[in-house]
A and B are shown apart, each in its own frame.
Chain A
Amino acid sequence: MLTWISLLIVVLMLAAALAALLLENFVAAVAAVSVVGLATSVAFVLLDAPDVAMTEAAVGAGLSGVVLALALRRLGLWHLDAGSSPTRAMTRGGE
Protein backbone atom coordinates (compact mmCIF):
# COMPACT_ATOMS: atom_id res chain seq x y z
CA MET A 1 0.00 0.00 0.00
CA LEU A 2 2.76 2.40 0.97
CA THR A 3 4.64 1.43 -2.16
CA TRP A 4 1.78 2.53 -4.38
CA ILE A 5 1.46 5.88 -2.62
CA SER A 6 5.19 6.51 -2.94
CA LEU A 7 5.06 5.51 -6.60
CA LEU A 8 2.30 8.04 -7.20
CA ILE A 9 4.22 10.75 -5.35
CA VAL A 10 7.41 10.07 -7.29
CA VAL A 11 5.61 10.16 -10.63
CA LEU A 12 4.01 13.50 -9.67
CA MET A 13 7.38 14.89 -8.55
CA LEU A 14 9.23 13.94 -11.71
CA ALA A 15 6.41 15.10 -13.99
CA ALA A 16 6.29 18.48 -12.25
CA ALA A 17 10.09 18.82 -12.40
CA LEU A 18 10.11 18.12 -16.14
CA ALA A 19 7.21 20.53 -16.64
CA ALA A 20 9.07 23.26 -14.75
CA LEU A 21 11.95 23.05 -17.20
CA LEU A 22 10.02 22.49 -20.41
CA LEU A 23 7.04 24.84 -20.12
CA GLU A 24 7.44 28.16 -21.91
CA ASN A 25 5.21 30.15 -19.62
CA PHE A 26 7.28 31.18 -16.60
CA VAL A 27 4.29 31.53 -14.27
CA ALA A 28 3.42 27.90 -14.92
CA ALA A 29 7.04 26.89 -14.37
CA VAL A 30 7.08 28.55 -10.92
CA ALA A 31 3.82 26.79 -10.05
CA ALA A 32 5.42 23.48 -11.11
CA VAL A 33 8.37 24.09 -8.76
CA SER A 34 5.88 24.64 -5.94
CA VAL A 35 4.28 21.30 -6.82
CA VAL A 36 7.70 19.65 -6.59
CA GLY A 37 8.11 21.11 -3.10
CA LEU A 38 4.68 19.91 -2.04
CA ALA A 39 5.28 16.38 -3.35
CA THR A 40 8.64 16.32 -1.57
CA SER A 41 6.87 17.34 1.64
CA VAL A 42 4.45 14.39 1.29
CA ALA A 43 7.45 12.13 0.66
CA PHE A 44 8.96 13.35 3.92
CA VAL A 45 5.76 12.35 5.74
CA LEU A 46 6.06 8.87 4.21
CA LEU A 47 9.63 8.73 5.56
CA ASP A 48 8.56 9.42 9.18
CA ALA A 49 10.06 12.92 9.26
CA PRO A 50 7.26 15.30 10.38
CA ASP A 51 9.52 18.27 11.25
CA VAL A 52 11.16 18.20 7.86
CA ALA A 53 7.79 17.79 6.14
CA MET A 54 6.43 20.87 7.91
CA THR A 55 9.49 22.91 6.99
CA GLU A 56 9.46 21.81 3.36
CA ALA A 57 5.73 22.52 3.04
CA ALA A 58 6.11 25.99 4.53
CA VAL A 59 9.31 26.89 2.70
CA GLY A 60 9.39 24.90 -0.52
CA ALA A 61 5.74 25.01 -1.39
CA GLY A 62 5.05 28.43 0.14
CA LEU A 63 7.88 30.88 0.58
CA SER A 64 10.03 29.74 -2.34
CA GLY A 65 7.06 30.04 -4.68
CA VAL A 66 6.33 33.56 -3.39
CA VAL A 67 9.96 34.66 -3.82
CA LEU A 68 10.12 33.28 -7.37
CA ALA A 69 6.74 34.76 -8.33
CA LEU A 70 7.73 38.17 -6.95
CA ALA A 71 10.82 38.00 -9.12
CA LEU A 72 8.81 37.29 -12.27
CA ARG A 73 7.18 40.73 -12.29
CA ARG A 74 10.49 42.48 -11.67
CA LEU A 75 12.15 40.55 -14.47
CA GLY A 76 9.50 41.25 -17.08
CA LEU A 77 8.60 37.57 -17.36
CA TRP A 78 5.02 37.78 -16.08
CA HIS A 79 2.86 36.86 -19.07
CA LEU A 80 -0.52 35.31 -18.47
CA ASP A 81 -1.44 34.64 -22.08
CA ALA A 82 -2.72 31.19 -23.02
CA GLY A 83 -1.61 29.05 -25.90
CA SER A 84 2.07 28.45 -25.12
CA SER A 85 3.34 25.11 -26.27
CA PRO A 86 6.10 23.32 -24.36
CA THR A 87 8.58 23.43 -27.19
CA ARG A 88 12.27 23.32 -26.34
CA ALA A 89 11.91 26.15 -23.87
CA MET A 90 14.88 24.89 -21.89
CA THR A 91 17.52 25.31 -24.55
CA ARG A 92 16.05 28.41 -26.10
CA GLY A 93 17.24 31.71 -24.76
CA GLY A 94 15.52 35.01 -24.44
CA GLU A 95 11.95 35.79 -23.32
Chain B
Amino acid sequence: MMIDPSLDALTPEMVLFTGSIGLIVIGTAGLVLGRHLFRMLLALAIAEAGVNLLLVLTGFRGGAIAPILGFAPAGTPMVDPIPQVLVLTAIVIGVGVQALAVAVMIRVYRAYRVLDVVQLRQRLESDICDAAGIPTAGSLDEPLGGRPLPPVPAPRPVGAPARRPIHVEGTNT
Protein backbone atom coordinates (compact mmCIF):
# COMPACT_ATOMS: atom_id res chain seq x y z
CA MET B 1 0.00 0.00 0.00
CA MET B 2 1.78 3.13 -1.18
CA ILE B 3 1.25 6.38 0.60
CA ASP B 4 -1.91 8.04 -0.72
CA PRO B 5 -1.43 11.78 -1.15
CA SER B 6 -5.05 12.67 -0.37
CA LEU B 7 -5.80 13.83 3.15
CA ASP B 8 -8.75 11.59 3.97
CA ALA B 9 -6.53 8.53 3.62
CA LEU B 10 -4.41 9.62 6.61
CA THR B 11 -3.90 6.43 8.57
CA PRO B 12 -2.27 6.20 12.00
CA GLU B 13 0.75 4.39 10.60
CA MET B 14 1.44 7.21 8.14
CA VAL B 15 1.34 9.76 10.97
CA LEU B 16 3.64 7.65 13.13
CA PHE B 17 5.95 7.07 10.18
CA THR B 18 6.32 10.81 9.72
CA GLY B 19 6.92 11.15 13.45
CA SER B 20 9.66 8.52 13.47
CA ILE B 21 11.41 10.09 10.47
CA GLY B 22 11.16 13.45 12.22
CA LEU B 23 12.76 12.03 15.37
CA ILE B 24 15.58 10.42 13.37
CA VAL B 25 16.26 13.67 11.52
CA ILE B 26 16.20 15.75 14.71
CA GLY B 27 18.51 13.30 16.44
CA THR B 28 20.95 13.15 13.54
CA ALA B 29 20.96 16.92 13.15
CA GLY B 30 21.70 17.29 16.84
CA LEU B 31 24.56 14.82 16.62
CA VAL B 32 26.11 16.35 13.53
CA LEU B 33 25.63 20.00 14.44
CA GLY B 34 26.28 19.68 18.15
CA ARG B 35 29.12 21.38 19.94
CA HIS B 36 28.48 20.20 23.47
CA LEU B 37 29.05 16.53 24.26
CA PHE B 38 26.01 16.18 26.50
CA ARG B 39 23.67 17.59 23.85
CA MET B 40 25.06 15.11 21.37
CA LEU B 41 24.22 12.31 23.80
CA LEU B 42 20.65 13.60 24.15
CA ALA B 43 20.37 13.75 20.36
CA LEU B 44 21.62 10.15 20.17
CA ALA B 45 18.90 9.06 22.63
CA ILE B 46 16.25 10.80 20.52
CA ALA B 47 17.51 9.18 17.32
CA GLU B 48 17.45 5.76 18.99
CA ALA B 49 13.81 6.24 19.97
CA GLY B 50 12.97 7.21 16.38
CA VAL B 51 14.68 4.16 14.92
CA ASN B 52 12.92 1.81 17.32
CA LEU B 53 9.57 3.34 16.39
CA LEU B 54 10.33 2.90 12.70
CA LEU B 55 11.25 -0.77 13.20
CA VAL B 56 8.04 -1.62 15.06
CA LEU B 57 6.07 0.31 12.46
CA THR B 58 7.19 -2.02 9.69
CA GLY B 59 5.44 -4.92 11.37
CA PHE B 60 2.11 -3.21 11.90
CA ARG B 61 -0.90 -4.65 10.18
CA GLY B 62 -4.08 -2.60 10.15
CA GLY B 63 -6.97 -4.13 12.06
CA ALA B 64 -4.88 -6.78 13.80
CA ILE B 65 -4.29 -7.48 17.48
CA ALA B 66 -1.18 -7.85 19.63
CA PRO B 67 0.70 -11.17 19.28
CA ILE B 68 -0.60 -12.80 22.46
CA LEU B 69 -2.65 -15.99 22.30
CA GLY B 70 -5.70 -16.58 24.41
CA PHE B 71 -7.36 -13.17 24.31
CA ALA B 72 -9.11 -13.46 20.97
CA PRO B 73 -10.58 -16.36 18.99
CA ALA B 74 -7.91 -18.37 17.22
CA GLY B 75 -7.25 -17.20 13.71
CA THR B 76 -7.57 -13.41 14.16
CA PRO B 77 -4.74 -11.69 12.28
CA MET B 78 -1.86 -10.55 14.48
CA VAL B 79 0.88 -8.00 13.92
CA ASP B 80 4.35 -9.18 13.00
CA PRO B 81 6.21 -10.24 16.18
CA ILE B 82 9.72 -10.27 14.71
CA PRO B 83 10.39 -6.48 14.67
CA GLN B 84 9.09 -6.32 18.25
CA VAL B 85 11.67 -8.88 19.36
CA LEU B 86 14.45 -6.92 17.66
CA VAL B 87 13.32 -3.63 19.18
CA LEU B 88 13.09 -5.16 22.68
CA THR B 89 16.77 -5.98 22.47
CA ALA B 90 17.65 -2.63 20.91
CA ILE B 91 15.99 -0.57 23.63
CA VAL B 92 17.87 -2.25 26.46
CA ILE B 93 21.17 -2.07 24.60
CA GLY B 94 20.53 1.63 23.97
CA VAL B 95 20.43 2.43 27.67
CA GLY B 96 23.64 0.43 28.19
CA VAL B 97 25.38 2.49 25.51
CA GLN B 98 24.11 5.72 27.05
CA ALA B 99 25.43 4.72 30.47
CA LEU B 100 28.85 3.91 29.03
CA ALA B 101 28.91 7.22 27.14
CA VAL B 102 28.07 9.04 30.36
CA ALA B 103 30.90 7.26 32.19
CA VAL B 104 33.43 8.25 29.53
CA MET B 105 32.12 11.83 29.58
CA ILE B 106 32.61 12.03 33.35
CA ARG B 107 36.24 10.96 32.99
CA VAL B 108 36.82 13.47 30.18
CA TYR B 109 35.31 16.23 32.32
CA ARG B 110 37.49 15.26 35.26
CA ALA B 111 40.60 15.50 33.14
CA TYR B 112 39.88 18.52 30.95
CA ARG B 113 37.06 20.46 32.67
CA VAL B 114 35.35 21.35 29.37
CA LEU B 115 32.76 19.50 27.34
CA ASP B 116 32.88 21.63 24.23
CA VAL B 117 34.00 19.60 21.23
CA VAL B 118 36.25 22.22 19.67
CA GLN B 119 38.09 23.08 22.87
CA LEU B 120 38.49 19.40 23.71
CA ARG B 121 40.04 18.73 20.34
CA GLN B 122 42.54 21.57 20.82
CA ARG B 123 43.51 20.40 24.28
CA LEU B 124 43.84 16.80 23.18
CA GLU B 125 46.01 17.83 20.25
CA SER B 126 48.29 19.89 22.45
CA ASP B 127 48.49 17.04 24.98
CA ILE B 128 49.37 14.52 22.29
CA CYS B 129 51.97 16.84 20.78
CA ASP B 130 53.50 17.42 24.21
CA ALA B 131 53.64 13.71 24.91
CA ALA B 132 55.24 13.03 21.54
CA GLY B 133 57.73 15.86 21.97
CA ILE B 134 56.77 17.77 18.82
CA PRO B 135 55.66 21.41 18.75
CA THR B 136 51.91 21.97 19.01
CA ALA B 137 50.26 22.27 15.59
CA GLY B 138 47.97 25.17 14.90
CA SER B 139 44.29 24.32 15.32
CA LEU B 140 42.15 23.42 12.33
CA ASP B 141 39.93 26.43 12.89
CA GLU B 142 42.85 28.89 13.08
CA PRO B 143 45.71 27.35 11.09
CA LEU B 144 47.85 30.50 11.25
CA GLY B 145 47.88 30.31 15.03
CA GLY B 146 45.54 31.96 17.45
CA ARG B 147 45.22 33.02 20.99
CA PRO B 148 46.81 30.66 23.53
CA LEU B 149 44.58 28.18 25.28
CA PRO B 150 43.43 29.12 28.79
CA PRO B 151 45.07 26.88 31.38
CA VAL B 152 43.12 23.96 32.79
CA PRO B 153 41.91 24.92 36.32
CA ALA B 154 43.87 23.09 38.98
CA PRO B 155 41.91 20.39 40.81
CA ARG B 156 40.79 21.28 44.28
CA PRO B 157 42.94 19.61 46.99
CA VAL B 158 41.46 16.77 49.01
CA GLY B 159 39.27 17.92 51.86
CA ALA B 160 38.44 21.35 50.55
CA PRO B 161 34.93 22.14 51.75
CA ALA B 162 33.90 24.69 49.12
CA ARG B 163 31.13 23.69 46.74
CA ARG B 164 29.86 25.31 43.60
CA PRO B 165 28.02 28.52 44.56
CA ILE B 166 24.23 28.30 44.34
CA HIS B 167 22.95 30.21 41.33
CA VAL B 168 20.66 33.06 42.27
CA GLU B 169 17.66 33.65 40.08
CA GLY B 170 18.11 36.25 37.40
CA THR B 171 21.89 36.40 37.39
CA ASN B 172 24.01 34.85 34.70
CA THR B 173 26.98 32.57 35.28
Contact = CB atoms under 8 A, between A and B. Distances in A.
* Physical contact A–B (CB less than 8 Å): yes
Contact of A71 (B27, B29, B105): B105
Interface string A51-95: 110011001100110011011101111011111000001111111
A29 B164 CA distance: 21
28 contacts: A3-B10, A10-B15, A14-B19, A14-B26, A17-B26, A20-B43, A26-B38, A33-B46, A46-B12, A48-B64, A48-B65, A48-B67, A49-B84, A51-B84, A51-B88, A52-B84, A55-B92, A56-B52, A56-B91, A59-B92, A60-B91, A64-B98, A70-B102, A76-B164, A79-B173, A82-B170, A90-B35, A93-B35
Interface of B: 10-13, 15-16, 18-19, 22-23, 26-27, 29-30, 33-36, 38-39, 41-43, 45-46, 49, 52-53, 56-57, 59-60, 64-68, 79, 84, 87-88, 91-92, 94-95, 98-99, 102, 105-106, 109, 114-119, 164, 167-171, 173
